[in-house]
Structure 1
């Protein structure tokens, strides 16, 4: 992966996380309905495409065996998920004690132990279930992404009949909701393979790079109509059961556009972008390396500080303060979560090897 493509990926990761954050901040309880915001769900689709590409890259170039691949995946996810599962109850309990009205409709705390176990094991979106963890709605996507890692890992590291048996059992375990968005993730895998084995004319790549955002924005204006048409055929009762996969057709469209944009990047010669940003590359990398924490922590922290500061959503000053202090908190948390994943990797490796040695005995 060239420096320029890596920079594009870093920018994309941060922008996607930031879009989700801004989308949630547009809720009336935070910004008084001051501005309408879209693309929250679409930003998650960007994550899926990037994830498919990056996981293919690391499996091909670094983590080329079952053990290293899965240890790296567990380390990456649990470095943020474990702190989230510990800290969110604290934020929510204190926040609701101060102002419970802020949390109406935005938290789920019944059957807490079940929700905790489901999110700890990434089983929160199996079949038609959806076990939201307190106020942290964004955790839903990890219930998809983790199983894409698992299916991909099994497909490339297992051999023979055992591979197909385990893949079949895994798909039966996770259910249709998660599988519906798997093609989006796999498109990222395909793009990596295309980059590795093919070339594309620079002029064509540049046309794709600049036309795709315009084409996406045009199609996006028809997303509601597309989804309404789909469910007029298959029924709204199915829509209610699909949860975050309900807009799967428009998610495929989003994934197609995002994927083509990523595909074009390698061939358009964006060395000038790297030179233009210069020292700013370190800043971009800093924010990109905090994107996972921004994504998972921002909403509970919005609620927490809104309660703690007696937030007035109709005050511009309050709006600026709430957004700034939340972003700063997420960046600070990233320094002890995802940026410390090597510590998690160390202990997960020790645990893996202990289990491995017991199995061999």
Structure 2
């Protein structure tokens, strides 16, 4: 992966996290419907699909180049998730309970699912909250659903990539039953990221004129689709095969055809961008800003919703100011960046600590 393409991937990752933040910020209870068009266009949901594509690409890259054994792969993935997920579960629980006790009317709604502490830990730290038979929102933290999906994809990928023979296929079959239809419906989007890595690694760069078309045309098509009724038509098509209860039960997987179309457009776009990116050159200041935001993207994604919910009633005194929306958004983002400095951006040090801890254990026991 050359430097230019790496920075571009980071830029998309950072932008997707910010779009998800904005899509929840646009809820009327936060901003009185002033930005409801963001929700009407389902931009937050689409950003998560793009996350899935990037995840499949990056995970395949890591498995092929850095985490080439099952043990190192499992440690890297678990530490990456848990470094932010553990504080998100704990701090989210604290914020939700404090906020609900002080402003109960603001937490009255289906967006808040109060759980016992042990339930929050059990679902949050196993990432089983959206697997077969489970449809559990962790307090106000709606975005946590995608971690349940990604954890499943990591596990399926690891079994397929690192194991072989009958054990591989038996485990995959068992995992598919465990994870369930909803998770599997969006796995093709994640696998498009795997395909992207394979395609980049096995074929030469496309000619520049074609690369420009591949880079530019997918965003144009996407915007045209947003302006059309295609998504609504696909939704109606899905509803035609399912009862209302069955369709509702799909939860976050209720638009798999649209999501796969978006994943394909994303891959075509990235193939074009890859062919156009330069491998050399000095990293600019703007590139460093992009990398910084990308290094905070997981924290922004996992913390923003409980923070928005908690901060809104506290900032009620600013409601009449012209900049009230900006104050809420800015406060949420600044706190997320501060939390990222403590948890996400210290991942390397956390991994070193865990390694030293486990290496010291046998020595101390002798």
Q: If the length of structure 1 is used for normalisation, what is the TM-score? A: 0.92
C-alpha displacement at 1:235, in angstroms? 3.3
Number of the residue aligned with 2:143: 138
* Match for residue 72 of structure 2 among 68, 72, 82: 68
Number of the residue aligned with 2:270: 262
* Match for residue 313 of structure 2 among 307, 310, 318: 307
Residues 119, 311 of structure 1: CA spacing in aligned structure 2 closer, same or farther, 3 A cutoff? farther
Number of the residue aligned with 1:209: 215
Number of the residue aligned with 1:190: 195
Count of paired positions = 354
Number of the residue aligned with 2:122: 117
Correspondence 1:267-282 to 2 at 5 A: 267-269=275-277, 278-282=284-288
Question: Does structure 2 conserve the Cα–Cα contact (< 8 Å) formed by 1:31 and 1:314?
Answer: no
SS in 2 for 1:133: coil
1: CA distance, partners of 2:45 / 2:83: 24
SS in 2 for 1:118: helix
Number of the residue aligned with 1:7: 7
Number of the residue aligned with 1:94: 98
C-alpha displacement at 1:344, in angstroms? 3.5
Moved more, 6-15 or 299-308: 299-308
1: CA distance, partners of 2:9 / 2:292: 13
C-alpha displacement at 1:233, in angstroms? 2.9
Correspondence 1:215-254 to 2 at 5 A: 215-220=221-226, 221=228, 222-254=230-262
Moved more, 241-250 or 111-120: 111-120
2: CA distance, partners of 1:352 / 1:147: 26
Is it true that 1:149 corresponds to 2:146 in the alignment?
Answer: no
Moved more, 44-53 or 22-31: 22-31
Residues 23, 313 of structure 1: CA spacing in aligned structure 2 closer, same or farther, 3 A cutoff? farther
2: CA distance, partners of 1:351 / 1:168: 35
2: CA distance, partners of 1:45 / 1:52: 11
* Match for residue 50 of structure 2 among 46, 51, 55: 46
Number of the residue aligned with 1:55: 59
Is it true that 1:162 corresponds to 2:167 in the alignment?
Answer: yes
Residues 151, 198 of structure 1: CA spacing in aligned structure 2 closer, same or farther, 3 A cutoff? same
C-alpha displacement at 1:34, in angstroms? 1.1
Residues 352, 55 of structure 1: CA spacing in aligned structure 2 closer, same or farther, 3 A cutoff? farther
SS in 2 for 1:234: coil
Number of the residue aligned with 1:108: 113
* Match for residue 176 of structure 2 among 171, 177, 180: 171
The gaps in structure 1 that reach 5 residues or longer are none
C-alpha displacement at 1:353, in angstroms? 7.4
2: CA distance, partners of 1:352 / 1:130: 35
Number of the residue aligned with 2:338: 332
SS in 2 for 1:6: helix
2: CA distance, partners of 1:313 / 1:47: 33
SS in 1 for 2:139: coil
Question: Does structure 1 conserve the Cα–Cα contact (< 8 Å) formed by 2:93 and 2:120?
Answer: no
Moved more, 314-323 or 134-143: 314-323
Question: Does structure 1 conserve the Cα–Cα contact (< 8 Å) formed by 2:3 and 2:278?
Answer: no
SS in 2 for 1:316: coil
SS in 1 for 2:316: coil
Residues 353, 240 of structure 1: CA spacing in aligned structure 2 closer, same or farther, 3 A cutoff? farther
* Alignment RMSD: 2.1
Moved more, 310-319 or 282-291: 310-319
1: CA distance, partners of 2:252 / 2:210: 34
C-alpha displacement at 1:194, in angstroms? 0.4
C-alpha displacement at 1:319, in angstroms? 1.1
Question: Does structure 2 conserve the Cα–Cα contact (< 8 Å) formed by 1:91 and 1:300?
Answer: yes
C-alpha displacement at 1:87, in angstroms? 0.5
C-alpha displacement at 1:348, in angstroms? 4.8
